[in-house]
Structure 1
Amino acid sequence: MKRILIVTGQSGSGKSSALQVLEDLGYYCIDNLPLALLPEIVSKLDRENNLEQLALGVDVRSTHADLQDFDGVFEQLQKHGTVDVIYLTTKDQELITRFSASRRPHPLTGRCTSLNECIQEEKSLLLPVQLRATVNIDTTNKSVHDLKHTLLSKLDQSDRLIVILQSFGYKHGIPLDADYVFDVRHLPNPHWDLNLRKLSGLDEPVQAFLSANDDANEMYQDIFKFLEKWLPVFSKGHRHYMTISIGCTGGQHRSVYMVDRLQKALQAKWSIQILHREMKHWS
């Protein structure tokens, strides 16, 4: 067996959806088995099947003792291939909204007095697993399509570094899976120009408006020089991806403009993936 993925994270963050995506990508998927049984099952599969890719769903329904001993399970699994832990996380309020909409109980409902208490307790129980995570994905504002795109980017096994440039709006929350966050809210806001309000940072009038501003040009140069200097260092460190998030207030004008400008400057040297997180909110 060459590759083993452990898919875990907070209940309601999309573990089932992630496993479905991985199954579509050719992974043999097993969900909701006790952690303590995983090494034995993987060993049996390794002996009797010619599996190249295996994905294992793990959640808080494993016993507390098993979760605390995750390091031991992880090390046993490494005997059978390369092991990565995909940890899915979502902002608390979004989890509460999802559970309320689905009307399904949280797995820890019987142990806690409120949904929020369940969420906090689950974070604590999953901490030993989260500390081993090699891929962190914030699903707060992601559709299944966005999740598939993110998984494809972050599971790339080539030697090249994939740079994910993400625009977002601070009013919708900071992305939890960002490696670096740059704030461009200090730049002049096209939102206050009625001729530009319904456009985005991908439209030429907005780009012309911001490119004429000295602060916008200096901010772009500072971010570009930072990435130009450090991306080669990150690449030598055998990282497969780097998520650079750039935020403005709504995620429609300034951050989108900056991401688009950086993509054009970096794409000749680096493999670039673009995600405009708030596109569904654009006017």
Structure 2
Amino acid sequence: MEHGGELVVVTGMTGAGRSTAAKELEDLGYYVVDNLPPTLLREVVRLVDESRGVEQPIAVVVDVRSGSFFQSLTANLAQGATGRNTTLLFLEAGDEVLVRRQEAARRPHPLQGTGRLLDGLRRERVVLRDVRSSADLVIDTSNLNVHQLTDRIGQAFGGEQASRLLVTVISFGFKYGIPVDADFVADMRFLPNPHWVPELRNLTGKDAPVVDYVKSQPGAMEFLDGYLPVLERVAAGYLEQGKRFMTVAIGCTGGKHRSVAMTEEISQRLVDLGYDARATHRDLGRE
């Protein structure tokens, strides 16, 4: 049977935002099923096909509450038995953030047993390790509020993008850690830091004087001219393999000047080449 509707499988760490993602997908018109045992994926698709038609997009939330059934998720998705274009969305966050969110919600972790909340999270990471490595899209929600996560979900699943590659180019500061959801990481610390130029220190990589300074440095344009063909080649390969999402992280020391300017430039060049590329700045304004 031909299917026009997409199947999105939402999974990830407890407290990373699965419920928020599911709510946004429902608002986008998806038929949402929460806490679904993976072995029932095909049955859900069949029932939705019969009751709502094959064009109805579906989103299912699968997590460790499914117990032993969860172990079969990768196998069920690999079979391609649903016939639908399927995206595995994995939501991630750091342990400190997850502990804080779970404590605020006053909920125990489903795997903590008689131990600490952190023990449950560590067990969950082990269970999810293979699933995370198979994910089509990983979103790190550590620094995202509910509205920002909703926007990310809307960008990824709110349009007719089944045959297009969505490229997120994100700037970051190395002193705050490398984004865990990055497919590629580029280091801009080989360029002089505008922080040490008094008239540029309080500006950001979105301001023209900083952009001009960064792009005029030896090696900056050579990097851009060499890096874009690499991203193009990988993007083409992703599409050939059915992957629809690519995250490129561009870092500098604090995520304020060099990485921001280069992220904006790379994103715009990708747009000019015909890609659906978007720039975002994780650590801008964090200092």
Give the aligned partner of residue 147 of structure 1. 149
Which residue identity lines up with residue 194 of structure 1 in the other structure? P
Partner Cα distance (1:106, 1:19) in 2: 20
Matching residue within 262, 279, 283 for 1:274:
279
Matching residue within 93, 102, 111 for 1:90:
93
Partner Cα distance (2:216, 2:31) in 1: 53
Partner Cα distance (2:42, 2:229) in 1: 46
Q: Deviations over 1:26-50 (max 9, x none)?
A: 1111212444444444433332333
- Give the count of matched residue pairs: 280
Shift of 1:75: 5.9
TM-score (norm 2): 0.85
Matched, 1:177 2:193: no
Matching residue within 49, 54, 60 for 2:52:
49
Give the aligned partner of residue 136 of structure 2. 134
Contact 1:196–1:206, Cα closer than 8 Å, also in 2: yes
Shift of 1:265: 2.9
> What is the percent sequence identity of the aligned residues?
38
Which residue identity lines up with residue 110 of structure 1 in the other structure? G
Shift of 1:3: 2.1
Give the aligned partner of residue 15 of structure 2. 12
Which residue identity lines up with residue 120 of structure 2 in the other structure? C
Partner Cα distance (2:84, 2:258) in 1: 44
Local SS of the residue matching 2:200: coil
Which residue identity lines up with residue 18 of structure 2 in the other structure? K
Shift of 1:153: 4.1
Matching residue within 178, 196, 200 for 2:204:
200
Q: Deviations over 1:176-229 (max 9, x none)?
A: 221111011232111233322221101012122223321333333332343355
Which residue identity lines up with residue 207 of structure 1 in the other structure? V
Give the aligned partner of residue 249 of structure 2. 245
Partner Cα distance (1:180, 1:147) in 2: 21
Contact 1:170–1:250, Cα closer than 8 Å, also in 2: yes
RMSD: 2.6
Local SS of the residue matching 2:144: coil
TM-score (norm 1): 0.86
Partner Cα distance (2:270, 2:74) in 1: 38
Partner Cα distance (1:92, 1:84) in 2: 25
Partner Cα distance (1:278, 1:152) in 2: 21
Shift of 1:76: 7.2
Partner Cα distance (1:47, 1:87) in 2: 28
Contact 1:154–1:240, Cα closer than 8 Å, also in 2: no
TM superposition outliers: structure 1 runs of 4+ over 6 Å: none
